Structure 1
């Protein structure tokens, strides 16, 4: 009863807050106003990358590209509710755990957080499943000048299983912010397959060409 009253009060308060994107109209959907939410470059369909179907919420175009960049690199964490809302707006197969795209310790120190982990937590809560992080990522560096095969091999070597995970899940969902070539998701998928995952799905906030 008390929890329901708190949720109602919280929702009512949000309706009085301005949209985090335009700052003009009031919040209606995941911290955005109705117009901003509807004007996002929605995709809501899978894209094929590295022979894998990856569900994408949006095209990587304005304004979602700017939102993701500011969330990822400029610590604009007030966009977290909106970005999590994009993923909550999609339909998923049944999974046992959510796996955020790992970042290297170097990137984590530089940014202060893993942006994929932040949105994965919100999605995991929505799906009522745990967040699982059995894979770590080694140092990420520039791939300028490398061929396609060299880039794929380099990315594959960045992902390693973190010791011996105490728990294992058969059906998992990888969560990433932006997919371009799909190489990182493919590399993470390979590690998860080694851990016995039988069904590996993936979702991203936006898909770039």
Structure 2
């Protein structure tokens, strides 16, 4: 009986709670009102970066750019349902696990959380699949002043396989917040291939010009 009460209670609270964006109308879905949801800079398309197809929910424009920045750098975690909801607008492939983009220990200490992992947890629960984190990321340095090839090589060196477990998944989804050049997704993909992944997909909340 209790498992039915919680979703009903959540829906009741949502119906009387104000939209997390405009603060005026009531929430319609994913913590926002119907009008704000419709006014998102939707893309719902595929972009190609580093010879890899990446599904993107939105263009990196207002208001999703500000939402991501606040979520990522200002600890405004109440946007998590909106961001996960945007990703559910995509036609996601059949996968066995979600791999959130790892961040370095340095970044984790700065922010207190991995923003991609928070969104991945919501999606994994909804899809009833596990989160898989077999790769870690070393210290992230500025890429300014580096050529394209130097940048790619530099980023690839940041990723390391950290798992000793024999657990492997063949079909996985890399999840990140914003894709620009796609270098990080490409570097993570290479490590997952080393682990035996055969189908590696990628999805991002938004895409910015590379």
TM range (shorter): over 0.9
SS at match of 1:205: strand
| Contact 1:88 1:126 (C-alpha < 8 Å) held by counterparts | no
- CA–CA distance in 2 between the matches of 1:55 and 1:15? 31
Correspondences of 1:6-155 after superposition (within 5 Å)? 6-155=6-155
Unmatched tracts of structure 2, length 5 or more: none
* Matched positions, count: 209
Runs of 4+ aligned structure 1 residues displaced above 6 Å come to none
> Scaled by the length of structure 2, what TM-score is found?
0.97
1:6: how far off?
A: 2.5
| Contact 1:99 1:173 (C-alpha < 8 Å) held by counterparts | yes
Seen in structure 2, the aligned counterparts of structure 1 residues 161 and 9 have a Cα distance that, compared at 3 Å, is: same
- CA–CA distance in 2 between the matches of 1:5 and 1:84? 23
- CA–CA distance in 1 between the matches of 2:179 and 2:6? 37
1:62: how far off?
A: 0.3
| Contact 1:134 1:161 (C-alpha < 8 Å) held by counterparts | yes
Give the structure 2 partner of residue 206 of structure 1: 206
1:20-54 residue CA offsets vs partner (Å, 9 max, x unmatched): 01101010010000000000000111100000000
1:92: how far off?
A: 1.2
SS at match of 2:47: strand
- CA–CA distance in 2 between the matches of 1:162 and 1:5? 40
1:127: how far off?
A: 1.5
> Scaled by the length of structure 1, what TM-score is found?
0.98
1:91: how far off?
A: 1.6
1:132-172 residue CA offsets vs partner (Å, 9 max, x unmatched): 00000000011111111000000000001004233100000
- CA–CA distance in 1 between the matches of 2:83 and 2:95? 20
- CA–CA distance in 1 between the matches of 2:162 and 2:124? 21
Unmatched tracts of structure 1, length 5 or more: none
1:4: how far off?
A: 1.4
